[in-house]
Structure 1
Amino acid sequence: TNWLDEMVKELESTNAKYTEEEMKERINAEKKLKTFPRLEFGDPGIYERMKKLPSRRIILTHLPPHLLPPSVLQSTAKILVLLRNPKDTAVSYYHFYNNMPVLPSFASWDEYFEAFMKGKLAWGSYFDHLVEWNKYIDHERIMMINYEELKEDQILGMKRIAAFFGFSLSEEDFHRIAKETSFQAMKEKSNETHGKFGDILFRKGVVGNWKDLFSKAQNEEMDRKFEDCLGGTKLAGKMKYDVYCKA
């Protein structure tokens, strides 16, 4: 989400052609939030402060649809949903859990895997999350994009995102933004952009890291779980599970 956030902000600001003064105003407005601009973080006053963010507001969340304010889905707001294959998601979340001071650590990957499969983690079950978003896959104001397709061809992915939001950029703009928001570029400047959380948020940024940790039994268990929850759905087809999650 941090990677996608940076991409969308760059696309939006390039399209809007903000002056230096306007950019300062936007940056200062975000600083006044006094937390990450996520719907689920912060004190109750965060929502009032978010209202004061200059348009267009770009707000992130890990929440599923039923926990979003109903007004979000009923308004003209557009929602970009980032999907990632569940095996890499599990591995990424494992390292995040064990490195984030405010979350409990797991003694082993096996212990964590059991908790992941049962949804006994912060933000709940990733499978439930996917099942719920699948209900909105044909919604005209919701676009779903895969982490994997962004990794394979970031420029093509950004062009699709720009078209969804109605942004107009040149070919040169897309190439510049791709360079500035590459995983390596963002990791290198993460200490200034994300402070002490930089190293936690930007670890590897690769596809297929799950193969280093999953046992044969775990691999088969997740295949069954995915099939039970999402087999035959449009979301499953979009995620290309057979491409990214088969050994």
Structure 2
Amino acid sequence: MKIARGCGAVSGRSPEVFRAMESLEVRSDDIILAGYPKSGTNWVGQILSDLVAIFEKKTQNKESSVNDEELEEFPYLEIGDTGKYERMNKLPSPRVIFTHLLPENLPKSIFKNKAKILLLIRNPKDVATSFYHFSNGMSPLPSYETWDDFFIAFMTKKMPWGCYFEYLSEWNKYADDENVMTITYEELKKNPVLGVENIAAFLGISLTEKELQSVVERSSFQSMKKNAQKTHGAFGNVLFRKGGISDWKNLFSEDQNEKMDKAFEEHIGGTKLGIKLKYEVYCKA
């Protein structure tokens, strides 16, 4: 398996890159990790990398093909230069590909070839809170003087990857597809062992008890934060800030709570993804 690293954090999302992206031939054994920014994609990406490494070792009797020299491509599909997709076409299977994009902006071959898609979602109040801290710590992104300024931008669709509620609404159309599995940040945080077991089962990867524990430990927040400098360079400290649930309670005003509750109901309340998010549990003060 080859996975991507190091290149600009938000560079390369140009029309040319999107046109070039269509040349990527996604294979049926590729694994697509789809999640809006700050939903936990780097965390779940670690789990996927470890699972695929175990799978390769068992089925091909070899150590994972990932090593420092080979980490050529940044894992996010939409970030990079126009030549990235030709290079990705030459990488061996299975490939793990991350994306923050809406389904309509992805290469058609993902759906045509029925690649497995792991859809990661997180309660919108914590997404907004995490995105606020992330934006102010990441130089290519716009920074905000106050939380109130950020909240207005988040709610008026002025985020670099668009509106989170629209993101959930669009992906909800695919939630019942057999090649799509939805997992929430909260359920994985609450029971990482069960979460990893479910992901492995979806990918058809069998794990021993020891392998399962190893994947869970290596993907713990403490472990990933400790290795952040090594795995994500200068961005490490910004990417792994708290890794918790309900941090939104430190920022949201009563009025902001009401506005987000209303937006949630309007966009995805009662939908499959809306129900899965357990909004009443995680987003009510």
**Do both proteins adopt the same fold according to a TM-score greater than 0.5, normalized to the shorter chain?**
yes
SS at match of 2:50: helix
Alpha-carbon RMSD across the aligned residues, in angstroms, is 1.5
Cross-structure match for 1:11: 51
Say whether 1:85 aligns with 2:126: no
1:147-188 C-alpha deviation (Å, 9 max, x unpaired): 000000001001110110000111221112111110010001
Residue in structure 1 matching 2:142, options 91, 95, 104: 104
| Alpha-carbon shift at residue 20 of structure 1 (Å) | 9.3
Cross-structure match for 2:180: 142
* Structure 2: gaps spanning 5 or more residues: 1-40
Residue correspondence of structure 1 range 19-38 to structure 2 within 5 A:
22-23=63-64, 25-27=65-67, 30-33=70-73, 36-38=74-76
Question: Using the alignment, how far apart are the partners of 2:277 and 2:126 within structure 1?
Answer: 12
Tell me the amino acid that sits aligned with residue 279 of structure 2: Y
Cross-structure match for 2:33: none
| Alpha-carbon shift at residue 21 of structure 1 (Å) | 6.4
TM-score, normalization by structure 1 = 0.95
**Identical aligned residues as a percent:** 52
Question: Using the alignment, how far apart are the partners of 1:233 and 1:88 within structure 2?
Answer: 20
Question: Using the alignment, how far apart are the partners of 2:195 and 2:62 within structure 1?
Answer: 30
- Is this contact kept in 1: 2:56–2:62, CA < 8 A? no
Tell me the amino acid that sits aligned with residue 98 of structure 2: L
Say whether 1:208 aligns with 2:246: yes
Residue in structure 2 matching 1:76, options 96, 114, 130: 114
Say whether 1:42 aligns with 2:80: yes
Cross-structure match for 1:123: 161
1:30-54 C-alpha deviation (Å, 9 max, x unpaired): 4233xx2211101011111111222
Runs of 4+ in 1 over 4 A off after TM superposition: 18-22
Cross-structure match for 1:2: 42
| Alpha-carbon shift at residue 76 of structure 1 (Å) | 2.9
Say whether 1:242 aligns with 2:271: no
Number of matched residues? 244
Question: Using the alignment, how far apart are the partners of 1:52 and 1:153 within structure 2?
Answer: 37
SS at match of 2:97: coil
Cross-structure match for 1:162: 200
Pair 39,147 (structure 1): closer, same or farther in 2 beyond 3 Å: same
TM-score, normalization by structure 2 = 0.83
Residue correspondence of structure 1 range 185-196 to structure 2 within 5 A:
185-196=223-234
1:47-103 C-alpha deviation (Å, 9 max, x unpaired): 111112221100101001011011111113100010000000000000111110111
Tell me the amino acid that sits aligned with residue 139 of structure 2: P
SS at match of 1:17: helix
Tell me the amino acid that sits aligned with residue 164 of structure 2: Y
Pair 61,29 (structure 1): closer, same or farther in 2 beyond 3 Å: farther
Question: Using the alignment, how far apart are the partners of 2:210 and 2:176 within structure 1?
Answer: 32
- Is this contact kept in 1: 2:57–2:63, CA < 8 A? no
Cross-structure match for 2:217: 179
Tell me the amino acid that sits aligned with residue 5 of structure 1: G
Tell me the amino acid that sits aligned with residue 118 of structure 1: T
Between Structure 1 and Structure 2, the one with more helix by share is 1
SS at match of 1:80: strand
* Structure 1: gaps spanning 5 or more residues: none
